[in-house]
A and B are shown apart, each in its own frame.
Chain A
Amino acid sequence: SAVISQKPSRDICQRGTSLTIQCQVDSQVTMMFWYRQQPGQSLTLIATANQGSEATYESGFVIDKFPISRPNLTFSTLTVSNMSPEDSSIYLCSVGGTGGLSNYGYTFGSGTRLTVV
């Protein structure tokens, strides 16, 4: 399965600022996924990022707030813009396994723990 390097692992940010989270995958993957996990909650999908096209956002998430880049098949970034304390969460990137998403399950990055003060 793929190995994902995600950074930063954690950050404390001032409200109104932006933070960019990076994920690097050790193999080429078609789709990358970005999730948010609010305290005590399960994972919520923010968007799906395909290389060479605009990301597809889930209901309740917009590009202006969470711009995503996908410049190649091994890298993606998620920016959390104009942050407020409500954005304090763990942010995770994920990829499906090679050889077909349905066959190899999902792999996750190590997570970014964001605290907005």
Chain B
Amino acid sequence: KQEVTQIPAALSVPEGENLVLNCSFTDSAIYNLQWFRQDPGKGLTSLLLIQSSQREQTSGRLNASLDKSSGRSTLYIAASQPGDSATYLCAVMGSGGSYIPTFGRGTSLIVHP
């Protein structure tokens, strides 16, 4: 059974810092990995989707990498801003016939001015 772990669970940084959020998964046979942002009490907003054949995806100040063989993904946030404060979740979809993603518990990020 796929298990997804996100480290750290919480992070508080001053504005302007570059950040790395980590996601690890136990079964490397995956279709893709998706990073989401969730604001308190709200739904999930998709940030980046990495297919199993890709090594990274970029959108603005965000860069996500994928190393399938080691079961790891990182989300890099450049020049963090207070508006980046949210919970970041990664989700992995396996290739074992299951179309149901497995979610990590998230990293709660606070960027203070």
Residues of chain A having any CB pair with chain B under 8 Å: 1, 6, 10, 31, 33, 41-43, 45, 48, 90, 92, 94, 96, 101-111, 113
Contact = CB atoms under 8 A, between A and B. Distances in A.
Contacts of A43: 44, 89, 103
Interface string B25-47: 00000011010100001111110
B54 to A, nearest CB: 12
Contacts of A94: 44
29 contacts: A1-B46, A6-B43, A10-B41, A33-B100, A41-B105, A42-B89, A42-B105, A42-B106, A43-B103, A90-B42, A90-B43, A92-B44, A94-B44, A101-B99, A102-B31, A102-B32, A102-B93, A103-B32, A104-B49, A105-B34, A106-B34, A106-B101, A108-B45, A108-B46, A110-B43, A111-B41, A111-B42, A111-B44, A113-B41
B32 A105 contact: yes
Contacts of A105: 32, 34, 46, 49
Contacts, number: 55
A92 B104 CA distance: 16
Q: Is the interface of B mostly helix, strand, loop or mixed?
A: strand
Given A31-B99, A102-B31, A111 B43 contact: yes
Given A107-B46, A108-B46, 16 more contacts: A42-B103, A42-B104, A42-B106, A43-B103, A90-B43, A92-B43, A101-B93, A102-B93, A102-B95, A103-B32, A106-B46, A106-B91, A110-B43, A111-B41, A111-B43, A113-B41
Contacts of A109: 43
A110 B42 contact: yes
